Amino acid sequence: MKKLEVLVVDDDTNLRKFVTAGLEDLGISIVSAANADEAEVILSDCPSINFMLLDVMMPGRNGWEFLKEIREAGNQIPVIFLTARQEVNERVKGLKIGADDYIIKPFEFQELLARIEAVARRRSGSNELAVADLKIDISERMVERAGESISTTDQEFRLLRVLVEAEGAVVSRPDLLKRVWNLDFDPGTNILEVQIARLRRKVDRFERPLIQTVTGQGYKLADQPRP
């Protein structure tokens, strides 16, 4: 997927800080705005922004009005509405205006991240990811290597998906704990190392291992000859 640069628009300062901290911890670029007027200026000045998290009820123009305006102007940036309003007709209204998804406040960061990733995948037109001869299908939750199907647990699949999506970059231990287990702290156990070992037994039993340990940094997937 293309590297994300996210704009979060919400008049709730604490929510903006919560979302900003979570995404920045994952290396995702993010800027914030308190209202539609600020967001409009940012979108004009920063054409590299390619994703927006948009509050519905804000002072001045609300999220529905702002999204309708930018869609009519031809801006097709992916948008997820953030709202405390749970009525079905309001969610339908937002989707008809042109939102890609809706998330109800309060929400867990892990759910927000999953929705961002899902929208980004849909917009890219691909549910299949690959590294060398390893392929994973996100929608079907299937893994295969060298044409052979590999059975994984939910945690193993989430861990493998994060590594594949990193496209060869190192993913740190804190990032993996956050994205796979939704932990913002080190639990002081070897849960990550245990899952990596289990994943290696399944994924790296082929001619060329893929899962690499980068000492002092984390893990990455890359095609490499077996020692």
117 shares its domain with 132:
no
Which DSSP category does 146 fall into? Answer: T
95 shares its domain with 150:
no
**pTM tops 0.85:** no
Last-in-domain residue among 92, 124, 156: 124
Is 165 among the domain residues?
Answer: yes
Closest CA to 70 of 33, 32, 99, 102: 99
pLDDT at 22: 93
CATH of the domain at 134: 1.10.10.10
Domain that holds residue 38: 5-124
pLDDT in tens, 146-191: 889 999 998 999 999 999 988 788 899 999 998 899 888 888 889 9
88 shares its domain with 167:
no
Last-in-domain residue among 90, 124, 158: 124
Phi, psi of 196 (to 5 degrees): -60, -45
Q: Tell me, rounded to whole angstroms, the distance of Cα 183 from its chain centroid.
A: 16
pLDDT in tens, 216-226: 999 999 887 66
166 shares its domain with 119:
no
95 shares its domain with 139:
no
pLDDT in tens, 56-97: 999 999 999 999 999 999 899 999 999 988 788 888 888 889
Element (H, E) at 108: none
Contact of 131 with 222, CB cutoff 8 Å: yes
Is 156 among the domain residues?
Answer: yes
184 shares its domain with 209:
yes
What span, in angstroms and rounded, lies between the C-alpha atoms of 103 and 86?
A: 9
pLDDT in tens, 33-55: 999 999 999 999 999 999 999 99
Strand, coil or helix: 64: helix
pLDDT at 126: 64
CATH of the domain at 11: 3.40.50.2300
209 shares its domain with 146:
yes
Is 152 among the domain residues?
Answer: yes
Last-in-domain residue among 73, 98, 124: 124
